[in-house]
Amino acid sequence: MLYREAGDFKVSYQADQQTFPIRFDRLFFWALLASAYFVVPFFINDYWANAVLLPFLIYGVASIGLNILTGYCGQVSLGSGGFMAVGAYTCYKMMTAFPDLNLAFCILAGGVTTAIVGIMFGLPSLRIKGFYLAVVTLAAQFFLVWMFNKVPWFYNYSATGMISSPERTMFGYAITGPNATPAATYLFCLTFLVVLAFLGRNLTRGSVGRKWMAIRDMDIAAEIIGVNPLMAKITAFGVSSFYVGVAGAMIFSVYLGAVEVTEAFGIQKSFLLLFMIIIGGLGSILGSLVGAAFMVLMPVLLKNIMVNSFGWAIDIAAHFEFIIIGGLIVFFLIVEPHGLAQLWRIIKEKMRLWPFPH
């Protein structure tokens, strides 16, 4: 057995609080990160970047964001698509109004604006809960998409109503626009994901995260032990929307390059993100990433298997995809609300004590 925790005792609280308390996990993580930076860029091509890697990295950011709100703080949101649009349009307005501004800054500005909008739509969460809050966020979704469609100022009065991203560079490499290489865009998005995942993990493992979880698990008891519900919910909406907004800005500027709001940020995107965190695992940063990877990879895989190997028609394959996703969601909601992340944890628990489970 290579993989085990038994015999791996912690001698300090600090060691016990690590993200990867098990040495094997830690090594694996660093190896993965190193190859993500130093190996993948040399092999990446357009297909891998656009079909798999960029969507995974960007949706990874968004799904961490939604997981902070829904998985950690227990506030359901169906407005993620609309919030991503806020990030995208802020980024677009910044890029076009200030051509000299650094791209990373425009994307972060998208996150900050989305955080503010998110907090505004989150304020009702102080009074209303569950289903009713979901309806408010759903209204936000439709309102925001409608607004970006109807107010020409947002798309700079372009004839098509679309926004498209001009070329911007980082360290001399084009990140947006037609000259961007897959390696450059990949590294750019990877860095955003790594930094934001790190920050998200830190927020959720300390006292802020416990405040959110306390509100999620039992808001009355939380308040009585000293959690300010207003602050806890507002920070959750703010941080979560920041992540979602950054992801929206990246989808627009780096990944798609040109977007039409209804298509790129419609209600289906809100659901996609929800599926990611349900399948990956509510209340887990790792789960958010696993869920994003799963939802990005599965259609690609299924299409490869069903269309290319079995020779099925594309539309039949698409139907199968829906059936499989639907089935999985029902499965995870009923059997394992903590998703793939929890399944993995259970397997680890079994494995680490093997062959003597007691």
Partner 1 sequence: MTVSQDAAVQETITPDGRTIGGVLMEMRNITLRFGGVVAIEDISFDIRQGEIRAIIGPNGAGKSSMLNVINGFYHPQDGEVWYKGAIRGPMRPHQIAAQGIARTFQNIALFHGMSTLDNIMTGRLTHMKTGMLSQSVWFGRAQREETENRAFAERIIDFLEIQSIRKTPVGRLPYGLQKRVELGRALAAEPSLLLLDEPMAGMNVEEKEDMSRFILDVNDEFGTTIALIEHDMGVVMDLADRVVVMDYGRKIGDGSPEEVRNNKAVIDAYLGVSSD
Q: Which residues sit at the interface with partner 1, rule CB under 8 A? A: 12-14, 16-17, 199, 202-203, 205-208, 210-211, 213-214, 216-218, 220-229, 235, 239, 283
Residue with the two structure tokens 């995260």: 209
Minimum distance from residue 297 beta carbon to partner 1 (Å): 28
Using DSSP's 3-state secondary structure scheme, residue 163 falls into: strand
Gap between the Cα atoms of 136 and 149, Å rounded: 20
Gap between the Cα atoms of 74 and 90, Å rounded: 27
* DSSP-derived secondary structure for 19-54: SS-SHHHHHHHHHHHHHHHHTHHHH--HHHIIIIIH
Cβ-based nearer residue to partner 1, 224 or 334: 224
First-to-final CA distance of the chain: 17
Counting Cα atoms < 13 Å in the Cβ hemisphere of 260 gives 5
Minimum distance from residue 351 beta carbon to partner 1 (Å): 17
Cβ-based nearer residue to partner 1, 138 or 199: 199
Minimum distance from residue 223 beta carbon to partner 1 (Å): 5
Minimum distance from residue 70 beta carbon to partner 1 (Å): 13
Minimum distance from residue 202 beta carbon to partner 1 (Å): 4
Cβ-based nearer residue to partner 1, 195 or 316: 195
Cα-to-chain-centroid distance, residue 329? 17
On the 0-12 / 13-18 / 19+ scale of CB atoms within 10 A, 72 is buried
Cβ-based nearer residue to partner 1, 263 or 349: 349
Minimum distance from residue 239 beta carbon to partner 1 (Å): 8
* DSSP-derived secondary structure for 273-292: HHHHHHHH-TT-HHHHHHHH
Cβ-based nearer residue to partner 1, 57 or 203: 203
| Contacts of residue 38, Cβ cutoff 8 Å, sequence gap at least 6 | none
Cβ-based nearer residue to partner 1, 159 or 220: 220
Cβ-based nearer residue to partner 1, 72 or 255: 72
Q: Which two tokens stand for residue 230?
A: 């207003």
Residue type, 156: N
Identify which of 260, 252, 256, 238 has the alpha carbon closest to the alpha carbon of residue 113: 238
Minimum distance from residue 125 beta carbon to partner 1 (Å): 16
